[in-house]
Structure 1
Amino acid sequence: MDFFIKSGSPEKQRSACIIIGIFATRRLSGPAEQIDSVSDGYLSALLRRGNIEGEIGQILFLQQIPGVLSERVLLVGCGKERELNESNYQKIIQKTMQTLNESGTLEAICFLSELHINGKDNYWAIRQGIEITKDTLYSFDKFKSQKTKKRRALHKLTFITQSRKQLSKAELAVTHGKAISSGIKACKDLTNMPANICTPLYLAEQAQQLAEQHEKISVSILDQHALKDLKMHSYLAVAQGSSNPAYLSLLHYKGGETAQKPIILIGKGVTFDSGGLSLKGSAAMDEMKYDMAGAAAVYGTLKAIADLNLPLNVIGILAGAENMPAGNAYRPGDILTTMSGQTVEVLNTDAEGRLVLCDVLTYVERFDPECVIDIATLTGACIGALGHNISALLTPHNGLAHELLKASQQAGDKAWQLPMDDEYQSQLESPFADMNNLGGNAAGTITAACFLSRFTAKYTWAHLDIAGTAWRPAGPNKGATGRPVALLTQFLINRSDDQQ
């Protein structure tokens, strides 16, 4: 599917379908008023008869409207004009694309990006239109023997901008939207893979393939022997109960000057998390294949920035491991010596992500990073705190927090900053080691970040807990969301000044 930009009035567009909005209480949007004018009140008459009220989710297909060149016009309910916000716009685009896809429409011209959305501009509306369209039409049927039969697929969507002066900004929205959507799809595909296929080795192979596809990406893979030589004993302890060995995959994107310090993204890549000897309950354990969604998000983000050719140096790290129970698995009560030399008492083997990440956070010191961001499905407590809509952001560095929160708002990929006050550190105290790996039941997301912070003293660092946002847990859309690829890519776009 491809996306285009043009300017012009709705009645002059020659297409299979044009899409225009109708507001609640039967009010016409600007493009609808133009069509109503050239058709001698055709739309006004429909509204007076009550054919469509304009509530969000209402749809009405019209054919052969007088004075209009397009074959069909799709009227889309947009709700109350003053209440048209980011969330409602997303619902409108989703419903529109579902309708077009089900109707077998091959191409369409969309005037919805001209709507006035509270606090947003045309660039945002077009880019979100692309990202929501791709998300709405996404399906993962790789392992279905009988593929879903589809009608003719929508393959061309054109967004309208109000004037030619806005064309360059609108074209940038298309460029960004297409690259981010591609990265999100790559993240979803990887996260949705079953754990019997998506092993730590598979993550390494995907990293190698991505490097082969992009000239500015190179890859290096550290196997268990290399990790042992580096004394990454905490990382290896998590993996030792599995027959699938750990692999640490590093994607080096070199788009900036040689002297430019790299931005490092670390993704937790636990390809299946049984909980280890602290075994999880069987309910929804199938979803624990998505415990590598952080690594998948890093992979998708590297793909997006390579497509955009951003002038930055970025290192994306996929920290692959599998947490399984076995006779040689690590145990509650074990004491591990991390790469940093600090010791950790294991209170629960299901708090394994931090044990993988802490060694990687020490390892990346050698790159003298500009900043480090780790992305992980780290705590169930995060779902309890923020649900499935907002990711948790934790960092002691206010400047970096501001950048990430700004990017989250720009991208529509929301995050919320939680505190990391020193008082929480006391929950990690252990009578037998430098710290424990659990922190107790209270403030679990915060104490997990406090644990990680003990390995980040030498650089600027932030932690994103995506346990609630990386996966839709139920319903027909169950599966990976591709978050927070949009947030991370926006952050890097901002850092590169490749902005609107």
Structure 2
Amino acid sequence: MNFELKNLSWEACEQTICDVLILLVPASSKPAKPTKANDVPTKSVKSLPALKRLMLAALEQDDLDTSAGKLLSCYRSTGIAARQVILVGAGQANEKDVARACAAAFAACKIPGAVKSAHVMLCLAQINGLSGASLQAAMQAAAASSYVYTHTKPKAEARKLQLVSINLGSQAQVQAMSPELQQGRALIEGVELAKEWGNRPANHATPTLLAKAAQAIAAGKSPVSCEILGPKEVAKLKMGSFMAVAQGSEQPLRFIVLRYFGAAKTVQPTVLVGKGITFDTGGISIKPAAEMDEMKFDMCGAASVLGVFKALSVLKPKINVVGLIPSCENMPSHNAVKPGDVVTSMSGQTIEILNTDAEGRLILCDALTYAERFKPAAVVDIATLTGACVVALGAVRSGLFSADDDLAAQLLRAGEASQDLAWRMPLDDDYAEGLKTNFADVANVAGRMGGAITAAKFLQRFASQYPWAHLDIAGTAWKSGAAKGSTGRPVPLLMKFLLNFEQKQAVAGKKSARSAA
């Protein structure tokens, strides 16, 4: 789908032929109660543009609640070319309220079946001091509402919403928001790629196919490069923990290495590590049958890394980023790793595998060791790691674990700015006590209590050589029930984190240049 910025008057906006016209109405738009001093003559009200009259009438009659996300939908309004008009409350018009308003409005859009290419006009001119984050939140709402999964549904209707015109009401705003529009477009491409691979069934998203998806991002004139390591290369690296998880499946493992270098090679890269379990049965510690189909989503960490690199390939920021994706299936078979087996990780640490369903940390730990060779500025791993995190935080916020206060703060700020929220969890050393074992350097589980934290403590053992953070997205990567499907999170958080890092580097470069002068 495409987005364009417009500078239109009320009259031009209402005369635009489109399927739906959405007008965001913040609380500040509500007129004061009429008095003898400020009463508006009837004649002047009638001379106002039709769209403005409709808004004022709805506000004066209390038919429109300006709380964020409250709607008033109108059909074939007099004097307005759009077939449907949606007035939506935008509350205080901050990023959170704009995001909520747009999500509600786009979800309410009624596009008839006969329409093959729908056009929506979104009016944000009423939002004073519109931020780039608000604009991008509006764009993401439009994209999310119209996203259609079709890969294994050949008869499904493709996306109908093809064009969203965003009216900002002034040329100065159009110019100021143009870079934000470009970022928003790139972000949507990344989120939708993450959704696509998260949604695909496991037989359509094997480790080999996931590797091909990474190669496609790096194809042609892309600024991204891709290297794929197979079983022989991984064995040579002595990734015994990763190989142990993969050995129960006939599908060969893949270790995917993506590189994007938009800055000087001397600039330390940020490394993103995504868990790529393309299907998780639990192995010998097999899961219950109910909802096991959702274990195709266990590679959403990997999908988010692919999404970030897709966005980077479009936006081309001046930063260096490396993506690492260890990918395999976790299956029960005569070859599968057994509870009680002891394996040796790439770091040389031995691991007693007490539960084969705690496999994500086993593939991530070798990837975290591999990350050391890049001498990274920071490493962030992203994984649908624990049900315990779902219990703790639900589906609203991802769990954030880090012993580095500065890195944790950067990720939290990025989450708030992108409305892709996270919550910092503890990493006290006492939580690691349960990982002690008589038979190896460390056990892979420590019991039920504080399971998300003990999983993070396990990973922390393998990430001591650089600033590290862990995002547990088990509750936020997908939705269950009637709305079942990948959310594309935390691509927005990660992209905002990386772009903030670019700005930080630019500021540091200017200070260095002034000092040299």
TM-score (norm 1): 0.90
- Give the one of 197, 212, 221 matched to 1:190: 197
**Correspondence for 1:487:** 493
Match of 2:73 in 1: 60
The one-letter code matched in structure 2 to 1:75 is I
2:329 is matched by which residue type in structure 1?
Answer: E
Aligned ranges for residues 440-459 of structure 1 at < 5 Å?
440-459=447-466
Between 1:2-11 and 1:369-378, the stretch displaced more is 2-11
Aligned to 1:414: 421
CA distance in 1, matches of 2:227, 2:203: 24
- Counterparts of 1:458-469 in structure 2, within 5 Å, are 458-469=465-476
Distance 2:322 2:418 in 1: 22
Q: Is the 8 A contact 2:307 2:491 kept in 1?
A: yes
Alignment partner of 1:132 is 2:141: yes
Equivalent in 358, 367, 374 of residue 374 of structure 2: 367
Partners of 1:410 and 1:149 lie apart in 2 by 31
Instruction: Identify the residue that residue 313 of structure 1 maps to in structure 2.
Output: 320
Asked if 1:100 is matched to 2:109, the reply is yes
Q: Which of the numbers 65, 75, 82 marks the counterpart of 2:86?
A: 75
Compared with structure 1, are the counterparts of its residues 384 and 85 closer, same or farther at alpha carbon in structure 2 (3 Å cutoff)?
farther
Aligned to 1:142: 151
CA distance in 1, matches of 2:104, 2:6: 23
Q: Paired residue for 1:4?
A: 4
**Partner in structure 2 of residue 304 of structure 1:** 311
CA distance in 2, matches of 1:358, 1:286: 26
Q: CA separation in 2, counterparts of 1:464 and 1:357?
A: 12
**Secondary structure of the corresponding residue to residue 109 of structure 1:** strand
- Any idea what the Cα deviations from partners look like across 1:427-453, whole Å, max 9, x if unmatched? 211111111000111111111111011
Summarize the Cα distance change of 1:63–1:370 in structure 2 as closer, same or farther, 3 Å threshold: same
Corresponding residue number in structure 1 for 2:40: none
Judge conservation of contact 2:325–2:367 (CA < 8 Å) in 1.
no
CA drift of 1:139 comes to 1.3
Letter in 1 for 2:148: S
Separation (CA, whole Å) in 2 of partners of 1:267 and 1:214: 25
Contact 1:387–1:468 at 8 Å: present in 2 too?
yes
Deviates more, 1:180-189 or 1:162-171: 162-171
Gaps of 5+ in 1: none
Q: Distance in 2 between matches of 1:175 and 1:268?
A: 29
Question: Structure 1 residues 59 and 344, CA, compared in 2 at 3 Å: closer, same or farther?
Answer: same
Q: Secondary structure at the match of 1:75?
A: strand
Aligned-partner Cα distance in 2 for 1:44–1:266: 51
CA distance in structure 2 between the partners assigned to 1:192 and 1:64 by the alignment: 39
Cα distance in 1 for partners of 2:189, 2:127 equals 26
Q: Could you tell me how far apart the structure 2 residues matched to 1:202 and 1:324 are?
A: 18
Aligned-pair distance for 1:128? 0.6
Please say if residues 122 and 161 of structure 1, whose CA atoms lie closer than 8 Å, have aligned partners that are also in contact.
Answer: no
2:270 counterpart residue number: 263
Q: Which amino acid aligns with 1:58?
A: L
Whole-angstrom CA distance in 2 between matches of 1:100 and 1:446? 42
How many residue pairs match? The answer is 487
What is the CA–CA distance in structure 1 between the aligned matches of 2:248 and 2:398, rounded to whole Å?
30
Distance 2:359 2:290 in 1: 19
- CA separation of 1:36/1:317 partners in 2, compared to 1, >3 Å: closer, same or farther? farther
The Cα of 1:124 is off from its aligned counterpart by 2.0
Following TM superposition, by how much is the alpha carbon of 1:178 offset from its aligned partner in structure 2, in angstroms? 0.8
Alpha-carbon contact 1:114-1:122 (below 8 Å) kept? no
1:16 is matched with 17
**Per-residue deviation, residues 140-175 of structure 1 (Å, max 9, x unmatched):** 12212432488xx33221222243333333112211
Deviations 1:81-136 (A, max 9, x none): 45x665553343133223435245832332246436xxx84322211110111011
Of 403, 406, 431 in structure 2, the residue corresponding to residue 399 of structure 1 is 406
Distance (whole Å) between structure 2 residues aligned to residue 305 and residue 339 of structure 1: 30
Distance 1:362 1:23, change over 3 A: closer
Distance change in 2, residues 1:15/1:338 (3 Å)? same
- For structure 2, the 5+ residue unaligned runs are 33-43, 507-517
Letter in 1 for 2:210: L
- Over the matched positions of the two proteins, sequence identity in percent amounts to 38
Q: Tell me how far 1:7 sits from its aligned partner.
A: 2.5
Q: Tell me by how many angstroms 1:417 deviates.
A: 0.6
What amino acid sits opposite 1:368 in the alignment? K
Match of 2:340 among 329, 333, 345: 333
* CA distance 1:389–1:34, change in 2 (3 Å): farther
* Counterpart AA for 2:476: T
SS state at 1:196 partner:
helix
Q: Mark the CA change 1:166 to 1:438 in structure 2 (over 3 Å): closer, same or farther.
A: same
Partner of 1:115: 127
Match in the other structure for 1:284? 291
Task: Specify the code of the residue in structure 2 equivalent to 1:9.
Answer: S
- 2:25, 2:126 within 8 Å by CA — same for their partners in 1? no
Q: CA RMSD in A?
A: 2.7
Alignment TM-score, normalising by the size of structure 2: 0.88
CA distance in 1, matches of 2:280, 2:171: 52
Task: Report deviation, 1:71.
Answer: 4.5
| Residues 221, 247 of structure 1: 8 Å contact kept | yes
Alpha-carbon displacement from aligned partner over 1:376-404 (angstroms, at most 9, x marks no partner): 01111000000011101101111111111
Asked if structure 2 preserves the Cα contact closer than 8 Å seen for 1:239 and 1:321, the reply is yes
**Structure 1 residue 371 displacement after superposition:** 1.2
Is the contact between residue 150 and residue 158 of structure 2 (CA under 8 Å) also seen in structure 1? no
- Deviation string 1:450-478 (CA, Å, 9 cap, x unpaired) is 10111111111111110110010112x21
Q: Are residue 170 (structure 1) and residue 173 (structure 2) matched?
A: no
The 10-residue stretch of structure 1 (377-386 or 213-222) with the greater mean CA deviation from structure 2: 213-222
For residue 233 of structure 1, the aligned residue among 240, 251, 254 is 240
- Conserved 8 A contact 1:22-1:28: no
- Shift in alpha-carbon separation, 1:493–1:357, aligned structure 2, 3 A: same
Does 410-419 or 34-43 show the bigger shift?
A: 34-43
SS of residue paired to 2:456: helix
Residue number in structure 1 paired with 2:513: none
